[in-house]
Amino acid sequence: MGARLWTYGLLAAFLGAWEAGCRITDISELILPAPSVVLTTLWHGLSTGYLLPHIWLTGAEMLLGLAAGCGIGFVCGIVLGETAFLRRVLYPYIIASQVVPKLALVPLFILWFGFGMTSTVIITALICFFPLLENTMTGIAHIDPQKRELFRMLGATRMQTLFRLKIPSGLPVILAGLRVAVVLALVGAVVAEFIAGREGLGAMIIASQGMMDSPQMFALLVVITALGMLFYQATLLAERWVLRRHMKGTGQ
Amino acid sequence: MGFLRIDGASYTYPPDETVVNGVDWAIDQGAFHCLVGRSGCGKTTLLKLAAGLLPPSRGAVHIQDAPVTEPSPQVGFVFQNPTLLDWLTAMENVLLPVSLKRRPRVADRGRAAELLALVGLAEYAGRHPRELSGGQQSRVAIARALVNEPLVLLMDEPFAALDAITREELQADLLRLCASRRTTVLFVTHDIAEAVYLADRVAVMAEGRVRDTLDIDLARPRAPDLRYSPRFNELCRAARQAMDAA
Verify whether the Cβ–Cβ distance A150 to B83 is below 8 Å: yes
Residues of A in CB contact (< 8 Å) with B are 144, 146-147, 149-156, 160, 164-165, 168-169, 245-246, 248-250
Q: Across the strands, what pairs with B153?
A: B76, B185
A48-87: per-residue pLDDT in tens?
Answer: 989 999 999 999 999 999 999 999 999 999 999 999 899 9
Q: What is the DSSP string of B85-102?
A: -TTS-HHHHHHHHHHTTS
Q: What is the pLDDT of residue A251?
A: 60
Q: Write down the CATH number for the domain with range A36-242.
A: 1.10.3720.10
Q: Across the strands, what pairs with A221?
A: none
- Top residue of A147, A149, A153 to mutate, by most chain B CBs within 10 Å, is A153
Given this structure, which CATH class describes domain B1-74+152-163+183-246?
Answer: alpha beta
Q: Flag whether pLDDT at A184 surpasses 60.
A: yes
Q: Flag whether pLDDT at A252 surpasses 70.
A: no
Rounded CA-CA distance B72/B53 in Å is 10
Q: Give chain B's residues under pLDDT 50.
A: none
Verify whether the Cβ–Cβ distance B51 to A153 is below 8 Å: yes
Residue of B157, B166, B108 lying closest to B132 (CA atoms)? B166
Neighbours of A75 (CB within 10 A): 13
Lowest mean pLDDT among A173-187, A228-242, B159-173: B159-173
Verify whether the Cβ–Cβ distance B132 to A249 is below 8 Å: yes
Contact list, B51 vs chain A (CB under 8 Å): 153
Q: What is the pLDDT of residue A91?
A: 86
Give me the mean pLDDT over the A168-190 stretch: 94
Q: Flag whether pLDDT at A26 surpasses 90.
A: no
Domain ranges of chain A: 36-242
- Picking from B97, B128, B131, the nearest residue to A154 by CB comes out as B97
Q: What is the pLDDT of residue B45?
A: 93
Which amino acid is located at B44 in the chain? T
Q: What is the pLDDT of residue A160?
A: 95
Domain ranges of chain B: 1-74+152-163+183-246, 77-149
Q: What is the pLDDT of residue B221?
A: 87
Nearest residue in A to B84, CA atom: A147
Verify whether the Cβ–Cβ distance A155 to B101 is below 8 Å: yes
The ipTM estimated for the assembled molecules is 0.90
A204-225: per-residue pLDDT in tens?
Answer: 999 999 999 999 999 999 999 9
DSSP code of B227?
A: G
Q: What is the pLDDT of residue A30?
A: 87
Nearest residue in A to B148, CA atom: A154
Strands B4-13 and B17-27: antiparallel
Q: What is the pLDDT of residue B16?
A: 85
Q: What angle do CA B153, B158, B160 make, to 5 degrees?
A: 150
Rg for chain B, CA atoms, rounded: 18
pTM for this predicted structure: 0.86
Higher-confidence position of A251 and A196: A196
- Picking from A146, A160, A245, the nearest residue to B87 by CB comes out as A245
Q: Residue A104: pLDDT band by 50, 70, 90 thresholds? A: confident
Nearest residue in B to A168, CA atom: B87
Which residues touch B196 (CB under 8 Å, ≥6 apart)? B202, B214, B216, B218, B232, B235, B236, B239
